[in-house]
Structure 1
């Protein structure tokens, strides 16, 4: 029997992610109701552009009539082969159906006119900025403009995929920081110049929470999910701290890359210049005990084992994405697929589980995702099918 309350909570969570332009990962579908196959099915159907368009049509109708008619929803997303439909897990069917209804609910709640918001066009992903009051602004990449605080004062300038926050005396006088949080969808990157002069390049599928102005006391602290390159402005009086889901990185002024995606089991830090110290999230920094890195090193934090290891690396392998390059150095295929998903904003479902464990070294620039998969296929033969904005690799 399906626990419908859990199903609805999961569906509302997935609907909210879709409307915010965030890609759904396996780890977002929680609970013991779903097998790996069920999760793949739900992701595929909630990411299918054709079905997304059907969601929006249904959502508009629900907004106008409040008629939550299961038959209308089922007709819009029913698989073409009715025989196959009966073989699907009832749990995953309910998740997809409930997901569509939850999306309708979100449209009805936030857009009483019944029209979907301009930033919820099917298949479109947007860079968004969450303001201190919790409101969310869509950053149009083709538009420039001013970033303002609550009182209307200009605190930064936006140009395309970049925001430059202005240095002001307010940074010294402020005692309680106010935060912006930027979300970068798959297929896009973004540059921030923080109020202290620190430059941050954010990779696809990443988010950063940071003070509009750094206070004159304590650390300059930011919160990262995903991958980012930091070029930190030196300030011996205020160390710069990057907090991730596992470890914190403390620096005075240096250049480094942090990779901390929630779906990965490890957090990587690669140091290009200067020196950084690492310490576990939730613990106080102890300069005598915190391990330090030297340039050319990669530190890897295992989230499960809660231990750290170091190795010497070619740092260029880990900064290529800033220039639009994809570089894989002794990387398992499962991780390669996740990076391709983020880079190309495409869902890849791999049904060839043996392929996941194969290790590859390769580099690409300006190639289509199909050309990249064909390259790997010459080394380890496999077949795949392109379905709109998704790719399915055959067993």
Structure 2
């Protein structure tokens, strides 16, 4: 690859405008030059981050030196700066460089956490390192390690709602931590809901069996849940409420369906505010206690409000993208 093309690809990559194909070309270029030389870039545990960056930069720079002594044009300095930036990114990103431990003893590895922030109006599906699967609802914040190396597989639902389908691993139970309770499982599927606005955590089981414990409570005894059972624990209380699951499928929202069964319009509008990151003002207070059973898919907000208005006979106005007035 000539310097002009390499410079253009590198510039587009750091500007954030490179396409998938262009990123692949840049990665392929690096792989090709080092396959030809049989060279690998090693990271010695005694080196500092700056030393690693400089060594990677030197390695790339050697492959771009002219075969004969030539006058270096100003354009080359632009390329040099881009390559230097690439060497910094190489230590932080995956995909451009092969980084392997050196022969010297390495320091003990500390599991790094991945933090997932789910965008508004989207359901995100991720696969954990052990093969377990998690569906995260819009607005959720979820934390998990790159690898499960300890005696337990521990993740954290910081905020939001998640559905878990957990793979059974002998001798390594799975734990979901929330603000006020822990969910302990071996292999099962269940739903966890914990929103600061609601001030409570709700756990509902579909298959298998889970144990619920309260790490901040004096009572360390687990409460067990079987399929179609759930528990609700307020942030302000230490007394959980156990009950049977009522209504439609617990995990319907994973398919971008939101299920309401004999729910008040007040709670429906609150859910829509959260889902669509909007403000819904209800001028007709008589509507608040009206109840409705409905399954809502991934429609636009105005379509959903229109359906509700036909069903419950109210008028509305969408002032802008973030405000709805119910009359």
Residues 175 and 353 of structure 1: CA distance in aligned 2, closer, same or farther (over 3 Å) = farther
1:68-79 aligned at under 5 Å gives the runs: none
Q: Is the 8 A contact 1:257 1:318 kept in 2?
A: yes
Instruction: Give the stretch that moved more between structures: 328-337 or 267-276.
Output: 328-337
Please give the secondary structure, in 1, of the residue aligned with 2:162: strand
Distance 1:374 1:251 in 2: 42
1:364 aligns with 2:296: yes
Distance 2:251 2:149 in 1: 30
Distance 1:316 1:174 in 2: 48
Query: Which of 291, 309, 323 is the matching residue for 1:377?
Result: 309
Aligned partner of 1:202 in structure 2 is: 136
Structure 1 residue 150: Cα displacement: 5.2
Distance 1:380 1:388 in 2: 23
Aligned partner of 2:205 in structure 1 is: 271
What is the CA deviation profile of residues 354-382 of structure 1, one whole-angstrom value per residue up to 9, with x for unaligned ones? 43343322112354433432343345443
Structure 1 residue 215: Cα displacement: 2.0
Query: Which of 326, 331, 350 is the matching residue for 2:263?
Result: 331
Q: Is the 8 A contact 2:118 2:124 kept in 1?
A: yes
1:317 aligns with 2:240: no
Distance 1:330 1:265 in 2: 22
Higher relative contact order (CA 8 A, sep 6+): 1
Q: Is the 8 A contact 2:143 2:155 kept in 1?
A: no
Structure 1 residue 298: Cα displacement: 2.1
Structure 1 residue 278: Cα displacement: 0.8
Please give the secondary structure, in 1, of the residue aligned with 2:272: helix
Please give the secondary structure, in 2, of the residue aligned with 1:307: coil
Aligned partner of 1:220 in structure 2 is: 154
What is the CA deviation profile of residues 326-363 of structure 1, one whole-angstrom value per residue up to 9, with x for unaligned ones? 21023232331232234344332334444334332211
1:169-248 aligned at under 5 Å gives the runs: 176-248=110-182
Structure 1 residue 205: Cα displacement: 0.9
What is the CA deviation profile of residues 205-236 of structure 1, one whole-angstrom value per residue up to 9, with x for unaligned ones? 10101111122334423333101111112123
1:95-106 aligned at under 5 Å gives the runs: none
Q: Which runs of 5+ in 1 are unaligned?
A: 1-116, 120-147, 155-172
Residues 366 and 222 of structure 1: CA distance in aligned 2, closer, same or farther (over 3 Å) = closer
Distance 1:328 1:319 in 2: 12
Distance 1:204 1:232 in 2: 21
With the length of structure 1 as denominator, give the TM-score of the two structures: 0.52
Q: Is the 8 A contact 1:275 1:295 kept in 2?
A: yes
Structure 1 residue 291: Cα displacement: 0.7
Residues 304 and 220 of structure 1: CA distance in aligned 2, closer, same or farther (over 3 Å) = closer
Aligned pairs, how many? 231
What is the CA deviation profile of residues 101-129 of structure 1, one whole-angstrom value per residue up to 9, with x for unaligned ones? xxxxxxxxxxxxxxxx989xxxxxxxxxx
Distance 1:313 1:342 in 2: 23
Q: Is the 8 A contact 1:233 1:253 kept in 2?
A: yes
1:305 aligns with 2:237: yes
Structure 1 residue 299: Cα displacement: 1.6
Structure 1 residue 320: Cα displacement: 1.2
Q: Is the 8 A contact 1:186 1:341 kept in 2?
A: no
Distance 2:305 2:149 in 1: 48
Q: Which runs of 5+ in 2 are unaligned?
A: 1-14, 18-88, 96-106
Distance 1:230 1:305 in 2: 25
Distance 1:303 1:381 in 2: 37
Residues 308 and 391 of structure 1: CA distance in aligned 2, closer, same or farther (over 3 Å) = same
With the length of structure 2 as denominator, give the TM-score of the two structures: 0.61
Please give the secondary structure, in 1, of the residue aligned with 2:249: helix
Distance 1:323 1:282 in 2: 34
